[in-house]
Structure 1
Amino acid sequence: MPLPKELTTVTPLSKTLASIVFVTLPIIAFLFGMRYQRMLGDDKVNIPPSWQKTCTLEAKICPNGSTVGRSGPNCEFTPCPSKITEVEEGGFCGGIAGVQCPNGYYCDYGGKNYPDASGTCIKEPDQPKDNKYVNENFGFSFNLNQGEWVVVCPNLNEFNDNIAVWITTDPREAKNQGSACAREESGKELFTSRKANNLNSIEDYFTTLSRDYNIEKEEITLLGVRGYKVTGTRNSSDPAPLPEKIKNLVFFNNGILYVIPSTLWSRNFSFL
């Protein structure tokens, strides 16, 4: 049955009513629904669950100097960072928290030795290439172990052209060689010399040594260079700072005197 014309004709009024019913009202309903949902959510947050605890405001100092607090359902301390992963030279270390420097750095306390002293993290000197120390100026080399460095103390003036060399496991000595030379301990260092006051040959060495030690010597050869194995015991009348006993290898090669302590005998010492 055909509908009346007034029901099938589109008029401005019908368009307005359709817009209100099918567009405006759904939008208004959606906005009110969102607001109501937020109100329900806020009420839910404001009501703490029955299992939730209020943790005490405590702080734990970690080995790297940072602090962590209590958290979680059991109010346990948050785990400390395992270590300092990055640090710039000059970063803080030591102190009451005992802050540790990462691998490749050491804590320089600047001469402070009291408990809880603080210092700065300093980068360790680079390891010698292939774990071998090579001195081209005086023509020798020897092996090093991982974590070892060399301290070189030159003595160059009008009367002397020589060096004292020894191995250290303290990177501070390798970094600050000038102050390390002031702590030189006789008997541990390798001595090489082109020129030294009254010490320019093996014979001069024996003459000087015999003033303070009762010595025995045995002729040997190292890499085609003839020399001596020397052992000695200090004379009882001599001052205590001198080592009580000595054990050195002595060579004279290409105008250079080498006095090699027993601590370097197993280091594959070689002439260049």
Structure 2
Amino acid sequence: MSLVSITLPILALVFGLISLYMDPKKQKSLALGIITSLLFLICSFAIFNNYQENKKAEAEKVENEKDIKFLKDRLVEQGTVLTNLSSLTKTFQSETKKSLDEINGLLTAGWSIERVREEASKWGSFLKAVETTKEADKERSKISATSSKVSRQSITVQYFPKNVDKNIVESALKELGFKLIRGRANFPAYPTNAIWFGANVKIEDVKLVAFTLIRAGVRLNVISPFRERKGTRSNLIQVGTYVKYLNSPLLNISEIKNAKLFIRAD
């Protein structure tokens, strides 16, 4: 209820009471004065009331604008969060796919499931294993492309499969032109870590076998000529376990790649 609607009846009542006791001749001028006063009061009240309502409306507008700005800011923040989450999700999906591709690459190269699980449980070791496999495959491809496959057909690789996918490794060796003999391991509890070779075996062919094995996750500690290099072992490359060297430093890609010859390991 407005102030005008309350004030007007009160003033009308006061005017009526006064007119009861006033001389009729003076009532006309009094009435005019009162009407003028009433109009002034009404206008004043209306202006004041309008001012108050405008002030209230302005205050509400300011508050509404603050609320709208707050909501907009929250929406922007939520949008930023959603964008970041989307980006993180895409990155996670990309990294997951990359990891799966790398695991598949190891398996395709001849790694055993057990070895992949072992390396995958240690992230730094897994990344190094992936890089080593890629490097070994690269060097293997280089030698294969620049050497004679026909000459390798006279070379036999005697192999004792352990801790690798034997089908993939054997297929890779045959693909290079080598003859293959699968032997029975003398030390089944120990991993493959050594390569021996005869007098007629070229150093490039030894490296090919080494890179094929390293690509499949084999850790080589030693590459050595046979003690008796000639005779029946002249054209033989033997892959096996040299227990004496199991705790020796591993041969890396660079060492094998740059080797001009391999010295007899006793």
> Shorter-chain TM-score category?
under 0.3
Higher share in strand: 1
Higher share in helix: 2
Q: Normalising to structure 2: TM-score of the pair?
A: 0.20
For the pair shown, which has the larger CA radius of gyration, 1 or 2?
2
